[in-house]
């Protein structure tokens, strides 16, 4: 596995997917190596310095990379790919568009490669012009050289067919049905009460649309709090912007990166969950929020609507006024909130299953190489 930052980690959706795939494959008898990246971790330096050799049966190789955010990913992708050439692997599985810039290298040596495109990363506003071109190049390399190409949404499947004439396999992310947690840690640490806060939980990067949510929330008369849970990902200017905006309203609580009991309690006790993204692949946080039985309010991009169907509320992408109207409606109509709560968990846990995801991925691994 190449392309994630590291496992175990909740830094982003790619890390969660690689964790679930690799550990479950090991349980099925596969031998799996994961190439972790050494570098900035949103939990802090002490986590980054933990370099385990094995994690739940998965062998870990940690690739040294420069601290510069602009060089970290590309150096990691190159070094991990070169190191993998000596692993005598049956399959090398690349994750995300950036690492796919190196996908042609193992193909030169006749190694079978699979790529998962987690989202059209070049569209994300946090990347500058050069980085976007590199990501687009990785996308083209994946379309041209991958023996099997996996996408997470029907929208991306249509995109690759129209843009490259490339057939892909639609294998969405999975979810584990969780147990609800009573209020404990988050009350003590942040003063939160059940149903008394709106939750945003994701990386704090421009494409997640958090600034829309803050602008809309500030104009609403409510005693409920807005909880912003997440760390930045090489978007420090945007993080500074969000911090400044949040400090202007005492109802806004910024927790930073969360995991474990705090994460579980936040999901279990929120009034509603909001994901106002401009761009998504398949948001793991949305799957998780619905699995906890949350009423969700999401931007109406195809990738979100494909997940929620009619089991959540939506607003027009980027439209702060529409977001404000929908928030006000949900804040004054607990009956609507309760309706979506009753439907969301059973729907999402029944539709997206990790065991099915793993079985379908292994099936692709075992297909004979196709002529391209």
Asked if the domains 13-174+353-365 and 185-351 are classified in one and the same CATH topology, the answer is yes
CB 340, CB 334: distance < 8 Å: no
pTM assigned to the model = 0.85
Q: How far apart are CA 117 and CA 151, in angstroms?
A: 5
CA separation, residue 240 to residues 68, 205, 210, 246, 295 (Å): 19, 11, 13, 10, 29
- Fold type of domain 185-351: Rossmann fold (3.40.50)
Query: What pLDDT was estimated at residue 51?
Result: 61
Condensed to tens digits (0 to 9), the pLDDT of residues 180-190 reads 999 999 999 99
CB 216, CB 251: distance < 8 Å: no
Query: What pLDDT was estimated at residue 9?
Result: 86
Among 64-73, 242-251, 277-286, name the most confident range: 242-251
CB 189, CB 219: distance < 8 Å: no
Condensed to tens digits (0 to 9), the pLDDT of residues 311-333 reads 999 999 999 999 999 999 999 99
Query: What pLDDT was estimated at residue 133?
Result: 87
Task: Indicate the domain borders of the chain.
Answer: 13-174+353-365, 185-351
CA 4, chain centre distance (Å): 11
DSSP symbols for 110-126: T-EEEEEE-S-GGG-TT
Q: How far apart are CA 191 and CA 189, in angstroms?
A: 6
Residues paired with 92 in a beta bridge:
113
Query: What pLDDT was estimated at residue 331?
Result: 98
Query: Omega of the bond prior to 228 within 30 degrees of 0, cis?
Result: no
Residue 372 has pLDDT above 60, yes or no: no
- Fold type of domain 13-174+353-365: Rossmann fold (3.40.50)
Rounded to 10 degrees, the C-alpha dihedral 216/233/106/371 comes to 0
Mean pLDDT of the residues in the chain:
91
User: Look-up: residue for tokens 């870990």?
Assistant: 60
CA separation, residue 362 to residues 121, 175, 257, 267, 372 (Å): 25, 18, 32, 31, 21
DSSP letter, residue 179:
P
Given pLDDT bands bounded at 50, 70 and 90, which one contains residue 281? confident
């Amino acid at each position: 596995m190449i392309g994630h930052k590291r496992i175990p980690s909740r830094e982003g959706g790619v890390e969660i997917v690689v964790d679930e795939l690799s550990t479950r494959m090991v349980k099925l008898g596969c031998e799996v190596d994961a190439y972790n990246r050494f570098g900035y971790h949103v939990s802090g330096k002490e986590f980054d310095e933990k370099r385990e050799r094995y994690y739940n049966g998965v062998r870990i190789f940690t690739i040294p990379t420069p601290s510069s955010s602009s060089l970290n990913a590309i150096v990691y992708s190159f070094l991990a790919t070169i190191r993998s050439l000596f692993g005598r692997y049956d399959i090398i599985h690349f994750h995300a568009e950036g690492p796919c810039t190196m996908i042609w290298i193992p193909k030169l040596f006749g190694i079978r490669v699979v790529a998962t495109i987690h989202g059209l990363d070049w569209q994300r506003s946090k990347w500058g012009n050069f980085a976007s071109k590199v990501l687009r190049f990785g996308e083209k390399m994946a379309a041209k050289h991958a023996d099997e190409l996996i996408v997470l949404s029907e929208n991306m499947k249509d995109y690759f067919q129209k843009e490259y004439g490339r057939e892909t396999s639609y294998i969405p992310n999975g979810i584990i049905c969780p147990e609800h947690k009573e209020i404990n840690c988050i009350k003590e640490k942040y003063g939160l009460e059940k149903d008394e806060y709106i939750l945003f939980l994701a990386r704090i990067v421009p494409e997640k649309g958090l600034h829309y949510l803050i602008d809309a929330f500030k104009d609403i008369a409510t005693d409920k709090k807005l909880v912003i849970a997440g760390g930045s990902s090489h978007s420090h200017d945007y993080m500074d912007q969000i911090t400044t905006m949040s400090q202007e309203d005492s109802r806004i609580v910024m927790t930073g990166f969360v995991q474990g009991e705090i994460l579980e309690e936040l999901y279990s006790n929120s009034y509603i969950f909001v994901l106002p993204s401009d761009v998504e692949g398949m948001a793991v946080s949305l799957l998780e929020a619905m699995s906890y039985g949350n009423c969700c309010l999401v931007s109406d991009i195809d990738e979100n609507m494909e997940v929620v169907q009619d089991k959540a509320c939506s607003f027009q992408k980027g439209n702060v006024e529409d977001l404000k109207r929908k928030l006000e409606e949900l804040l004054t109509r607990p009956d609507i909130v309760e309706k979506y709560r009753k439907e969301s968990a059973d729907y999402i846990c029944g539709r997206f299953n990790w065991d099915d995801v793993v079985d379908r991925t292994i099936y692709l691994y075992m297909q004979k190489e196709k002529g391209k």
